[in-house]
Amino acid sequence: MVQKPATRRANFVMFIAPALFLYALFFLLPFGQGLRISVTNWDGLTPKTPISMPKAEFEEKILNRIESEKDRDYVLSIYTYDEASGEYSRLSIRGLKRYRLERIIKKVGYSPDLYRDVGLDNYRSIFRGQVDERFYPRRYEQVNFNANSDLPQEVDGASYEKDFLTKLTPEQKDLASQFYVKRGKSYILAPGKDEFNIEDPVWMLPEVDSGAITSAAVDDFIAGVKKAGLGQNEAAFAESKGAFVAQGKFAAGSLPVIDKCAQELFSVGKFKALLSEKWRVTKTDLGVIGFTIFFALGNVLISNFLAFWIALALDQKGVKSRNVLRSIFFMPNVLSMVVVALIWSFLFFHLLPQITGIQTWMSDPAKAPWLLVFVSVWQSSGYYMVIYLAGLQNIPQDIIEAAMIDGASPRQRLRHITLPLLAPSFTVCIFMSIANALKCFDLVYAMIGPSGYAVGTVPFVMDIFFDAFARKQAGLANAKAALLFLTIAVVTGLQLKMMKKKEVQL
Amino acid sequence: MKFRVKPVHFLEAFMIILAFLYLFPILFVFLSALKPDAEIMLHPLALPSKLYLDNFVKAWTVMKFPKTVLTTFLITLFGVAGILLTSSMAAWMLARTNTKYSWVLYSLFAFALVIPFQIIMVPLSVLASDMNLTNPQGLVLLYWGLGAPMAVFMYHGFVKSVPKELEESAAIDGAGTGYIFFKIVLPLLKPITVTIAILDALWIWNDYLLPLLIIKQGTLQLAQMAFNGQFLKEYGPLTASLVLSALPIMVFYLFEQKYIIKGIAAGAVKG
């Protein structure tokens, strides 16, 4: 080489600078800021410098503490004092201007309530479980009927029998059989037990119809009796009925109607209380953490197995349509996650209910996690299949032939030649599937979005997204993201280390 | 010679059926897009009774299709071109210089491969708005920075397998570093360039979260999602919009599949 050292150094800088600068600015800097935010209680909105502040407070906390004259002038050039409101305020500022103002205001020791250093509190609250209850796996009791609502006209037969009727004493069963009658797969509310039907005769009474009794009084009566019924409180029941009748404007013929209505509403209350107390199911929710692990494991195992198996089949001698099939299996991979998600949503919401008769797919907590794994496998396994197929085709034919001459069975050839020689492909595919599954956002977001919490299908990355932008907890979100970063680094690091050791060199 | 049924034929038949099942959702969406809503509801699996293009007309106008595609295309084109240029230069220089700086810088790039986007997402969107980058041009710049680690990593691996002798003899003949890189090295890097270009083009074209945070609307994926919320119950226009947004990349794939599949396989071995 004939270059002078100075030229060499200049070239080194010139060639590396563009990529390094952009990478540092848009990746490393935000990464550092992200870690910094993770030790604050920032909500993601509050600016570090106040937008407006009362005069006295502004002078005491900020202006009077600024030491340099230049800085004070700078602050005053941004904030203007408004006589009418008695406040200092500023317009929105960006870029270097903002950074300079933030530096000055930080130096005087001011920080807004929602942008304070909280040390490791975010991390601590994650480890101690002081986060949203839907974060960790949990068991919870699902209440199928809320005592404050009306009795539904129709209930799901399977759950009603299994989770409610079986828990009742014979006496309670008697009561239940007066209310719900089996019809086909569901139970139907007996017409006489419908609350509107029960109340109707009272509303039709001539005294109410003519306005002698106000509708407010009828509402009070009905509400009182219902409430008494829920608690089976005889005294309260007698009181609200008594108060209604005691208005003294009823004809003798109206009293039995009132009495009947009150009695029936009282028994409805009893049944409602029973229903809400007994018709409960204990359920398990995977939570964010549980689903993330489930999704990652499902993806790694199923997509790699499927991809390897398809590659093996396509690699067989005599498969004529190999290239066409390979192209087809790879095809879902070029589609965006959003398109894939919407294609499958369309199938789950429209086609499958129609041809199978099963109505709920993505909205069923028992199916949703599996369906998401299924769609993700459908989308990604073609990618891994291409890698396995390339690996298989790189295995030298003479080794296999030598094994065949030695009399190795196909199973032995697979076990002792193909698998070991394919180890590098396995390493790469498993590495990529772990990282992709843990980072998968678009697909789940487009398929289910925020309602994922209801069916237990919120991956870690989506929970972080909601923390940051919907729940206004940017500090917590970044602490979670930092933990995710550590997890991915450790898991993939261990996996690479373990699997690289097993790879054989030809 | 007589044709004999061998086990491999059963296998092939089975794989063809499996491939059809793989394709089925895409075909189904395509078929539905050609039917009026009523027909989609009544006969979901039947072929369209006659050619019906209203769905496409509606989706085309609502998504502002030509403009959206052009924007997405330009973002992808300039994004990929920038990544390729800056990363190949940096990676070549890092691979060919044997100092502790080059090792440190290389490790710095490789470090980013395990960082999930979520940890930089909040500060990056603040930074972008501070720097006035919340527009398609700004998005392109962000992609240059975000795409650098992977590209540098892959180029670096490839450069090490390219013999040095050509460059050395050119240097002895008095060629400058710029000349050596652009006229001698870059053509040699073509295989890995194709791979990286394909991977990055698929990534940028299909990306959803970064455009959502930075420009909010205007790319194909964003238009697709917005459309979905608007027309949830109108299956016809919804499926037509899916076909429209999948079409450009599908056509690209059908014509370039040989390179794409080769590129993916090659990239995996290098990566």
Give the integer Cα–Cα distance in Å for A162 and A160.
6
Q: What is the pLDDT of residues A336-385, one digit of tens each?
A: 999 999 899 889 988 888 888 888 888 888 889 999 999 999 999 999 99
Overall average pLDDT of the A143-171 stretch: 85
Q: How confident is the model at residue A221 (pLDDT cuts 50, 70, 90)?
A: confident
Min distance A342 CA to chain B CA atoms (Å): 8
Which residue, chain included where needed, has tokens 């039995």? A256
- Cα nearest neighbour of B11 on chain A: A313
CB spacing of B265 vs A344 below 8 angstroms: no
Nearest-by-CA chain B residue for A9: B97
Instruction: Note whether A405 and A341 are same-domain residues.
Output: yes
In this prediction, residue A374 carries a pLDDT of 96
Q: What is the mean pLDDT of residues A488-492?
A: 92
* Whether residue A335 is found in the same domain as residue A222: no
**C-beta atoms of A27 and B253 within 8 A:** no
Same domain, A277 and A160: yes
A504 pLDDT band, cuts 50/70/90, is low
Judgement on whether residues A237 and A333 belong to the same structural domain of the protein? no
A180-184, A220-224, A482-486 — most confident range = A482-486
Q: Is the pLDDT at A246 greater than 70, yes or no?
A: yes
Q: Domain boundary at A285, A311, A332, which?
A: A285
* pLDDT tens figures, B164-213: 898 989 989 888 899 999 999 999 999 899 989 988 999 999 999 999 99
Based on the domain organization, do A291 and A438 belong to the same domain? yes
Question: Quick one: A266 and A324 in the same domain?
Answer: no
CA distance to partner chain A, nearest, from residue B40 (Å): 9
Is the model's pLDDT at A160 over the cut of 60?
A: yes
Look over chain B and give the mean of its residue pLDDT values, rounded to a whole number: 89
Q: What share of chain A in percent tops pLDDT 70?
A: 99
Q: Which CATH architecture has domain B64-230?
A: Orthogonal Bundle (1.10)
Shared domain for A201 and A298, answered yes or no, is: no
Q: Which chain B residues are within 8 Å of A347, Cβ to Cβ? A: 25, 28
Write the Ramachandran bin of A318: left for phi over 0, alpha for psi from -120 to 50, otherwise beta.
left
pLDDT at position B271, please?
A: 46
The more confident residue out of A461 and A251 is A461
Q: What is the pLDDT of residue B2?
A: 63
Query: Does residue A271 sit in the same domain as residue A293?
Result: no
pLDDT digits (tens, 9 = 90+) for A15-69: 999 999 999 999 999 999 999 999 999 988 888 888 888 888 888 888 888 888 8
Cα–Cα nearest to A448, from A341, A366, A373, A336: A341
Domains in chain B: boundaries:
7-56, 64-230
Q: Report which of residues B230 and A157 the model is more confident about.
A: A157
Higher pLDDT, B28 or A217: B28
Record: contact B114-A94, CB cut-off 8 A: no
Residue among A387, A445, A485 whose CB faces B268 most closely: A387
**Chain B residue whose CA is closest to A436:** B116
Using a CB-CB distance cutoff of 8 angstroms, which residues of chain A are in contact with residue B124? 26, 30
Can you tell me the mean pLDDT for B53-71?
91
Higher pLDDT, B151 or B42: B151
Model confidence at B60: pLDDT above 50: yes
- Decide if A19 and B152 are in contact by the 8 Å CB cutoff: yes
- Is the same domain home to A278 and A253? yes
Same domain flag for A274 and A302: no
Query: Which tokens hold the place of A487?
Result: 């997890």
Contacts of B133 (CB under 8 A, 6+ apart): B127, B139, B141, B142, B214
How far out from the chain centre does Cα B154 lie? Answer: 16
ipTM tops 0.95: no
Strand residues in A365-474 grouped as ranges (E): none
CATH number of residue A430's parent domain: 1.10.3720.10
On chain A, the residues whose CB falls within 8 A of the CB of B260 are 330, 334
Confidence (pLDDT) at A350? 83
Where does residue A297 fall: left (phi above 0), alpha (psi -120 to 50 degrees), or beta otherwise?
alpha
Closest residue of chain B to A313, computed from CA coordinates: B11
Whether the Cβ atoms of residue A373 and residue A464 lie closer than 8 Å to each other: no
Q: With respect to residue A353, please indicate whether it lies within any of the assigned structural domains.
A: yes
**pLDDT tier, B160 (very low <50, low <70, confident <90, very high otherwise):** confident
**Domain limits at A378?**
286-502
Is residue A475 in some structural domain? yes
Q: Tell me the nearest-neighbour CA distance from A53 into chain B, angstroms.
A: 23
Above pLDDT 90, what percent of chain A? Answer: 32
Tokens 């602490």 sit on residue = A479
Residue A174 has pLDDT above 80, yes or no: yes
**Average pLDDT of the residues of chain A:** 88
Angstrom CA distances, B47 to A288, A343, B40, B50, stand at: 42, 18, 10, 9
Please give the residue of chain B at the shortest CA–CA distance from A21. Answer: B145
Contact list in B for residue A30 (CB cut-off 8 A) is 120, 123-124, 127
Query: At CA B255, angle to CA B78 and CA B27, rounded to 5?
Result: 105
Domains identified in chain A, total number: 3
The DSSP-derived string for A279-313 is -EEEEEE-HHHHHHHHHHHHIIIIIHHHHHHHHHH
3-state secondary structure A222-279: HHHHHHHHHHCCHHHHHHHHHHHHCCCCCCCCHHHHHHHHHHHHHHHHHHHHHHHHHC
The answer on pLDDT for A302 being more than 90 is: yes
Question: Which of B97, B111, B118 to mutate to test binding with chain A, by most A CBs within 10 Å of its CB?
Answer: B118
Q: Is the pLDDT of residue B268 over 80?
A: no
Of residues A3, A342, A465, nearest to B118 (C-beta): A465
> Are A493 and A346 in the same domain?
yes
CA dist B197 and B82 (Å) reads 10
B182 or A252, which is more confident? B182
Instruction: Give the mean pLDDT of A312-338.
Output: 91
Hey, are the CB atoms on B118 and A464 less than 8 Å from each other? Answer: yes
Residue B54: name the closest of B225, B226, B247, B236 by CA: B236
